[in-house]
């Protein structure tokens, strides 16, 4: 489990590292606009398919089959690919990077959903992740050696890695689209609170950056989005563990040793982010990471609180009843929209980053309190 988790984290993180180190702030901002579509689609897929499937198994009518699970996953991934391609075309104005980005998003969304199923079933998942890592590293090396690193090249590397990883998942069962309403009716009791939670979450996590784009401009928007990417390692270590964390009894979260491990690990991750940016500043590192070094203090605080909040948010989505889940998300979304926008209006890019840090500290605290004070669903 530990090795599989590490390889998956490396696979998903690697394309973000490639983009951070290879693209200037403006190009990274353009890349982030399509990556946000992937984040939105992954969130919807979790609520409508993966987490609804596991909650229905834990608290409801039993476990659905791979045939229906995979078919719904494919339809959602295809829809995500179309939306991502449309966003890419609007941003860049040319069809090639838009189509390549759409392909990357669709393949990555399907792979994430399939991997969730296999993890819950205790099936091997490491091969697909390892193939994705190899393909991304090979593409990055080839582009660097040939001097062709660009936004188009990074998007193509992402697509190659996502397709390679998806090919080593179990082939989906292609069922007619009527499987979607059938799936919804079977899992409705879980889908409704989870999807409502995701819509509120995405309003802050995805909607707010799009609102801030015209305020900051593409280049500063790229630097702002890089803050979130630095917290990716912690989130990605948690992502493949979602089925495990959601199945862990909520009473275990109240143990002092467990709480200490979560907080202590998060502080160490924040310190590591600070050191990384200090090194980037000292060696004048190329890419948008170098631009982010001037904001090392708020970024480190953000990364630490994001790690805590991401952990407790996963636990909450697995166990909390609909009402506390909704209240937690409503608070999360309110601060996630209000503080970054207010910071941008008051202080430009620096204000945006501090606003992002403050809102993260608040919502992380909110999820922690909800989980530690509730008995569960």
Burial of residue 144, with CB atoms counted within 10 A of its CB: 0-12 exposed, 13-18 middle, 19 or more buried? middle
Q: What's the mean per-residue pLDDT of the chain?
A: 86
pLDDT at 18 over 60: yes
What is the reported pLDDT for 73?
Answer: 94
| Assigned token pair, 239 | 């992502």
- 8 Å CB contact between 21 and 140: no
- How does 253-287 read in b/e, with b if 16+ C-beta sit within 10 Å? beeeeeeeebeebbbebbebbbebbeebeeeebeb
Q: What is residue 122's predicted lDDT score, i.e. its pLDDT?
A: 72
Predicted confidence (pLDDT) per residue in 266-284, tens digit: 999 999 999 988 887 777 6
pLDDT at 95 exceeding the cut of 70: yes
Among 85, 169, 71, 163, smallest CA distance to 124 is for 169
pLDDT in tens, 175-191: 888 999 999 988 888 88
pLDDT digits (tens, 9 = 90+) for 203-224: 888 888 889 988 998 889 999 9
- Could you read off the pLDDT of 288-331 as tens digits, one per residue? 777 888 899 999 999 999 999 988 888 887 778 888 888 888 89
More confident residue, 76 or 23: 76
Give me the pLDDT at residue 317, please: 79
pLDDT at position 242 is 73
pLDDT of res. 377 = 43
- Pick 198 or 49 by higher pLDDT: 49
Domain housing 139 = 2-373
Report the share of the chain in percent with pLDDT over 90: 39
At residue 40, the pLDDT reads: 92
Mean pLDDT across 7-17: 84
Cα separation of 164 and 103, whole Å?
A: 12
Which range, 151-160, 236-245, 254-263, has the best average confidence (pLDDT)?
151-160
Residue 166 has pLDDT above 80, yes or no: yes
pLDDT value of position 286: 63
Q: Which residues contact 123 (CB under 8 A, 6 or more apart)?
A: 170
pLDDT of residue 188: 87
pLDDT digits (tens, 9 = 90+) for 42-91: 999 999 999 888 887 777 666 778 889 999 999 999 999 999 999 988 87
**CB within 8 Å of 289: residues ≥ 6 apart:** 20, 21, 226, 276, 277, 280
> Into how many domains does the chain fold?
1
CA dihedral 222, 223, 224, 226 (to 10 degrees): 90
Question: pLDDT value at position 376?
Answer: 45
| Model pLDDT, residue 289 | 79
What pLDDT does residue 285 have?
61
348: pLDDT strictly greater than 80: yes
């Amino acid at each position: 489990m530990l090795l599989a988790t590490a390889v998956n984290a490396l696979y998903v993180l690697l394309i973000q590292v490639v983009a951070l180190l290879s693209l200037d702030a403006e190009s990274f901002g353009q890349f982030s606009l399509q990556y946000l579509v992937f984040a939105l689609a992954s969130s919807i897929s979790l609520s409508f398919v993966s987490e609804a499937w596991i909650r229905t198994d834990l608290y409801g009518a039993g476990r659905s089959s791979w045939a229906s699970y995979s078919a719904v996953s494919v339809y959602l991934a295809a829809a995500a690919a179309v939306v991502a391609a449309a966003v890419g075309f609007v941003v860049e104005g040319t069809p090639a990077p838009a189509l390549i980005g759409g392909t990357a998003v669709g393949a990555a969304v399907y792979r994430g959903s399939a991997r969730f199923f296999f993890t819950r079933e205790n099936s091997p998942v490491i091969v697909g992740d390892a193939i994705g890592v190899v393909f991304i590293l090979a593409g990055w090396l080839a582009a660097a050696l040939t001097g062709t690193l660009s936004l188009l090249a990074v998007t193509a590397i992402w697509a190659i890695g996502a397709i390679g990883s998806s090919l080593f998942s179990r082939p989906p069962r292609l069922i007619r689209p009527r499987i979607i309403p059938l799936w919804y009716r079977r899992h409705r009791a879980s889908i409704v609170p989870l999807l409502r939670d995701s819509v509120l979450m995405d309003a802050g996590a995805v909607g707010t950056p799009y609102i801030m784009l015209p305020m900051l401009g593409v280049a500063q928007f790229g630097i702002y989005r890089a803050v979130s990417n630095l917290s990716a390692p912690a989130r990605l270590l948690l992502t493949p563990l979602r089925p495990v964390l959601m199945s862990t009894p909520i009473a275990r979260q109240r143990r002092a040793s467990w709480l200490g491990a979560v907080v202590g690990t998060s502080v160490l991750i924040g310190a590591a982010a600070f050191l990384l940016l200090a090194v980037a500043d000292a060696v004048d590192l190329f890419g948008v990471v170098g631009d982010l070094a001037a904001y090392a203090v708020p970024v480190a605080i953000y990364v630490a609180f994001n790690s805590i909040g991401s952990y407790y948010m996963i636990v909450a989505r697995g166990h909390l009843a609909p009402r506390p889940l909704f209240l937690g998300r409503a608070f999360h979304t309110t601060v996630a929209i209000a503080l970054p926008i207010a910071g941008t209006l008051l202080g430009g890019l620096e204000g945006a980053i501090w606003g992002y840090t403050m809102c993260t500290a608040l919502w992380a605290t909110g999820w922690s309190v909800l989980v530690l004070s509730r008995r569960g669903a």
